[in-house]
Structure formats: C-alpha cells, structure tokens
Amino acid sequence: IAYEAVHAIDSWDDLRRRLQPEDRRCFAFFHPSLPDEPLIFVEVALTKGVPSSIQGVLAEERDIVPVDEVDTAVFYSISNCQSGLAGVSFGNSLIKQVVQDLSRELSQLKTFVTLSPLPTFCKWAKEQEIELPETDAALKELAAYYLLEGKRKNDMPFDPVARFHLYNGALVHDVHVGADTSENGKKQSAGVMVNYLYDLQKISQNHEVFANKKEIVASKRVQALAKAGVVQTASQPKSDVA
C-alpha cells in the first residue's frame, strides 16, 4: 500500500480486490539483502479485451472474469519501491519476466498491454501554450499528437512513461479519454490514458528502432489521431523543452 505510486490503494479491502481474485496478479522483484522489501512490483489485470479506463479495472463491484475466459494481460501499475535504486531500471526485466510467466501459466493469453497515464501531458500543453480541447475527440487527437510528436531537445519523447515502454519494445496502441477520473489523473493527464502493446514477435525490433533511430512505433489508429492533432497545434507557439 505504501509503495503504490500510480493508483493509490485506499484500504486493506482495496488491496484484497487487487490481489485476491482469480483474474488479478501481482509480481515483484526482491533481493536477498532486503527479503521483506520489494524492489519493484507490477499489478496485472487479466481481462477479456483491452480495457479503456482504470475505473473499470479497479471498480469495487466489477464482475470477476473466470481465468479460463481471459485473453488479455493488462499491466496497470508499475511502482519502484526503493528510492536509493531510482537510477536502476528493473522495469524492463520485470515486464519481460511477467510476460514469460503468464504465457506459460495461461496459454490462451494473446494480448499484453498496459493501461498507462500520461503524467506530463498537461505540463507539456501548458509549456507549449496549448489550451486543452473541451471535446473528447479533439482531446484524444491532441494526446496522440503529444505521444508521437511531443519531444525533448534530445528528440526523445517528452512523456517519461512513453520513454519507458517504448524503450522496452512496446508500441503505442490506443488512446482513451475519460479513462482516469481521479484528481491526480485529471491534473496530470486530463483524464487521458494510453495502451502500450507488447507484441511478443516485435519487442526486439521495436526496441532497436526506438533506441537507435528514436522512432516511435504506433498503431495506424494512433497515427491517424496524431495527424488530426497536428491541426490543433499548427497555429500554437511551441517552446523548446529540455
């Protein structure tokens, strides 16, 4: 509960809802010198189809999906636990290990995705002097543009979560508005969330393209949304961001 960094756990009952049902998993790395302290953990929802909101994933009264009916593994929260190891990246290894473990346990799983925030989306828009659209469609297009075209001076994505998953070999799969209605979700991401897809056949290829060429791999759907988002930003002044 203390280390959860993405979606706050409100109580022991809330914790049980995330860990106990048959369609939920939690994986962590530990070290022998800290046997009772995780280094990093990831919470996983097993679902039918790709979810479009965190409210649906964490709903108190949600229907539990029988494990033999699931086809998708959703990484919806990854938390680093030890501040002294902040510069050490365990997330890449953890996700790959989890994918391998779940594939062995549940052979029917075909899709491995995240449901991730855009923690610097609102910050980027403010620095670019762009007003966030009031309509869902326009907001979705701007968010897609931000993910594919919002860059730092080193030409890497502005968004830290995007940098993490893209470097791991994921691709930008889809964008959802109204997906995180929490106070923090609205403040940082304007309620928008994104699915990063881990295509097991293309992880290495995607990683090489991003690491060596700084090219972002995205679905055709997201590419089309980003092109529409260009119209919104074309007349807006843009500033260089470190």
17: containing domain: 12-114
pLDDT at 7: 84
Is the confidence at residue 34, as pLDDT, over 90?
no
Q: Residue 204 in contact with residue 169, Cβ under 8 Å?
A: yes
159: in domain: yes
Strands of the chain, DSSP E: 24-29, 40-47, 72-80, 111-114, 116-117, 171-176, 193-197
Q: Residue 157 in contact with residue 147, Cβ under 8 Å?
A: yes
Residue 88 shares a structural domain with residue 174: no
Q: What is the mean pLDDT of residues 176-201?
A: 94
Residue 163 shares a structural domain with residue 106: no
Strands of 14-131, DSSP E: 24-29, 40-47, 72-80, 111-114, 116-117
Q: How confident is the model at residue 239 (pLDDT cuts 50, 70, 90)?
A: very low
| Rounded Cα gap, residues 226 and 231, in angstroms | 9
| Rounded Cα gap, residues 6 and 27, in angstroms | 15
Residue 151 shares a structural domain with residue 222: yes
Average pLDDT for the chain = 89
pTM of the model: 0.88
1: in domain: no
